[in-house]
Chain A
Amino acid sequence: MQLGGLADLLDRMIRIATGILMVILVAVMVAQVFYRYVLNSSLTWSEEVAVNLMIWVVFLGSAILVRRWEHVQIPTVVQASPAGLRTALIFLARLASMACMVVFLWFGMEAFFGSHHATSFTTGISTRWIKLSIPVGAALMLVYATLLLLEDIAALRANDTKRFETVTPPRSNSIQDQQR
């Protein structure tokens, strides 16, 4: 499955990117503590930079979670439904979530292209580059959700009912994907 390979490449790239952002975030906070308590001079930009990094981590990281449908959910009702209905409900949940991602993407773009941005005094960075994390994150969520949906359809065609026993696709699948 070439699509799966491409998805894994994207997956790895985002994970490396968020990992690096996270390490920088911690390093910046440690530098702040070091400057204040050891060198006795406070950094003015550290907290702001750390928060900006965190915002990017949150929206990129949320996209990673879509790949295996790991966002917090309440599967009780769907899990208790009979098999056929359950499959339909799982598809409905995926599609409704994708509609929400489109909303995030749309208004995220509108905010990015809008005029209500401030430029930070301490770093000189416009908040627009931080708000950009929302449409970028939403777009990546849509990519992952589409891939998941394609896998769902493939499983449905192959009559692989196992995939639809739980709302979250079984993990074994994903490990196979990674090995490919």
Chain B
Amino acid sequence: MGSLQDLIIFLFVPFIASLLLAIPVVYSLGIACAVFLLVSGTRIPPIIIATEMYAAINVVALLALPMFVMTGELLNRCKLTDRLILLSRQLVGWLRGGLAHVNIVTSMFFAGISGSVLADAASIGPLLIPSMIKEGYSRAFSAAVTASSSTIGAIIPPSIPLIIVGGQLQISIGGLFLAGVIPGIITGLALMFVSYLICLWKGFGLRHPFEGVRATTMHTVRAAPVLIIPIWILGGILGGVFTPTEAGAIAVVYTILISTLFYRTLSLSDFFGAIDSTVRVTASALVIVAIAIVFGRILTFHQFPQQLVDIVLFFTENKFVLFLAMVVLFLFVGTFMDALANMIILGPMLMPLALQGLDIHPIQYGMFLMYALLLGIITPPLGLVLFVVSPIADVSLERTSLAVLPFLFAQLLVLALIVFVPEITLALPRLAGLL
């Protein structure tokens, strides 16, 4: 167990201390790796800091990330969210708690295009929260609906976190994309159900009368060029026609075409702005991937994942207890730290434990990992998205935290379904022959 002690003293302690001191995640990881490699007397040569960082992102599958980031950036700049909201209003606005449902359904549409949770909360929030408050929904409820529905962004493909998870755990990204479809839809429906109950109980929300088939058709046609993007991306991957990376490249070109020819809302400066943001987002995500792999290599070299399996399974082999323990861990670290960095560090570390202890498929594990870590960012009191939506609704963090609890609970149930009902995630990838 000597090496376990070394890992704790020279790797985990410096890492956590650096994080708490607000040293950026990438440098916290770098400092921890450097301390361990230079001080602990390990047999790993310290040059892996550079060579493994290079190897970590010298991966073709990761090319999908800049592609989908750019697609999302371009679409955001041509004010597409408005159109999605108009369409959602036609589709679900007539239900009790109309705008709450509109909020959730817009997130589902948005998720099929962008792949980012914060982008979702930050772009839908300012558009819908004010109108929700005006129609008599409480501020906290409006913020909570926006926060919890934004997590769908990463579940419904294309999803930026899923690209990272797939690259990291060596799971087919196409398979993960397909695995996210059903959980994404279930999550949407679960959130709508919870909002329906809350609106009924508290008497929130006007119903918007259905404006007739003509209006619905009109809004569908207007949003159609955007709405078909996820359909052909998924169709292409499902049919084995193109890889996720190629789908991303096609999506970029397609987006440029529809935004200049059909919507005519994309200016040249928008285009340059989109490229600039794509560089920033790509660099900020992948540089963490690069150094986190070095961290992971150190852990695997010293057989930490396997030691962890032995220790944990020594205490319990009960699947449900294991599931709860992992969920608590994911939610806890998920509220503290960026979901992406967590996926990269914890993903491979806990994979043997999950596969052996919970007896689940790697694709299922990938979904479980990402979903649980995402819930971390809406978990009170530190969840990142809560900090984004509360100021938009002009309500205290405490009130949003309370209001988000019923939604969080519903999503935890969906999480349990993902782990205990394999077909929810595995049916579509199996259909595509990706298992």
Contacts from A to B (Cβ < 8 Å)? 15, 18-19, 22-23, 25-26, 29-30, 32-33, 36-37, 47, 50-51, 54-55, 57-62, 64-65, 69-79, 89-90, 92-93, 96-97, 99-101, 103-104, 107-108, 110-111, 114, 116, 127, 130-131, 133-135, 167
A-B contacts, 15 listed (Cβ < 8 Å) = A15-B279, A22-B275, A33-B250, A51-B63, A55-B54, A55-B57, A71-B25, A73-B22, A74-B338, A78-B21, A99-B31, A100-B30, A100-B31, A107-B50, A134-B50
Choice from B19, B25, B66 contacting A57 with Cβ under 8 Å: B66
Q: A62-B283, A104-B50 are in contact. List 17 more A-B contacts (CB 8 A).
A: A18-B279, A30-B252, A37-B242, A54-B62, A58-B283, A62-B26, A71-B25, A71-B287, A72-B25, A74-B338, A79-B22, A93-B21, A104-B49, A104-B53, A108-B50, A127-B54, A131-B51
Inter-chain CA distance A60–B282, complex, in Å, is 11
Residues of B within 8 A of A90 (CB): 22
Docked Cα-Cα span, A104 to B245, in Å, equals 29
Q: What CA separation (Å) do A130 and B62 show in the bound complex?
A: 16
> Is chain B's interface secondary structure helix, strand, loop, or mixed overall?
helix
Instruction: Give the docked Cα–Cα distance between A65 and B279 (Å).
Output: 10
Residue of A nearest to B65 (CB): A54
- Mask for B37-55, Cβ within 8 A of A = 1, else 0? 0000000001101110110
Task: Compute how far the CA of A101 lies from the CA of B157 in the bound complex, rounded to whole angstroms.
Answer: 35
A96–B22 CA distance with the chains assembled, in angstroms: 10
Interfacial residues of chain B within 377-435, with CB under 8 A of chain A in the complex: 382
Measured in the bound complex, the distance between the Cα atoms of B284 and A11 in whole Å is 16
CB distance from B229 to the nearest CB of A (A): 15
B310 within 8 A of A: no
B60 to A51, Cβ gap below 8 A? yes
B337 on the A face (CB < 8 A) = yes
Interface size on B, residues (CB 8 A): 56
- Tell whether, in the assembled complex, residue A73 and residue B25 are in contact, meaning their CB atoms are under 8 Å apart: yes
- Which residues, 266 to 283 on B, are CB-close (under 8 Å) to A? 272, 275-276, 278-280, 282-283
Given contacts A29-B246, A65-B280, A167-B22, contact A58 B50 (CB under 8 A): no
Asked if residues A72 and B338 are in contact (CB atoms below 8 Å), the reply is yes
CB-based contact A74/B50 at 8 Å: no
Q: Which of A18, A25, A74, A78 is the most central at the interface, judged by chain B CB atoms within 10 Å of its CB?
A: A74
With a 10 A CB-CB cut-off, give which of A59, A89, A103 has the most chain B CB atoms: A103
Cβ of A89: which chain B residues have Cβ within 8 Å of it?
A: 21-22
Query: How far is it, in angstroms, between the C-alpha of A99 and the C-alpha of B21 when the chains are bound?
Result: 15
Number of A-B pairs whose CB atoms are under 8 Å? 182
Instruction: Indicate if B290 sits at the interface (CB-CB under 8 A).
Output: yes
Residues of B within 8 A of A (CB): 18-27, 30-31, 34, 46-47, 49-51, 53-54, 57-60, 62-63, 66-67, 70, 242, 245-246, 248-250, 252-253, 272, 275-276, 278-280, 282-284, 286-288, 290, 336-338, 340-341, 382
Contact B47 A33, beta carbon cutoff 8 Å: no
**CB–CB A110/B47 < 8 A:** yes
Chain B residues with CB under 8 A of A97:
23-24, 27
In the complex, the answer to whether A58 meets B280 with C-beta atoms within 8 Å is no
Chain B residues, Cβ within 8 Å of A15:
276, 279
Complexed CA–CA distance, A22 and B282 (Å): 10
A129 to B322, CA, bound (A): 46
CB-based contact B20/A70 at 8 Å: no
Please name all residues of chain B whose beta carbon is closer than 8 Å to the beta carbon of A57 when the two chains form the complex.
66, 279, 282-283
Chain A residue numbers with a CB within 8 Å of B62 are 51, 54
Whole-angstrom distance between the alpha carbons of A108 and B49 in the complex?
8
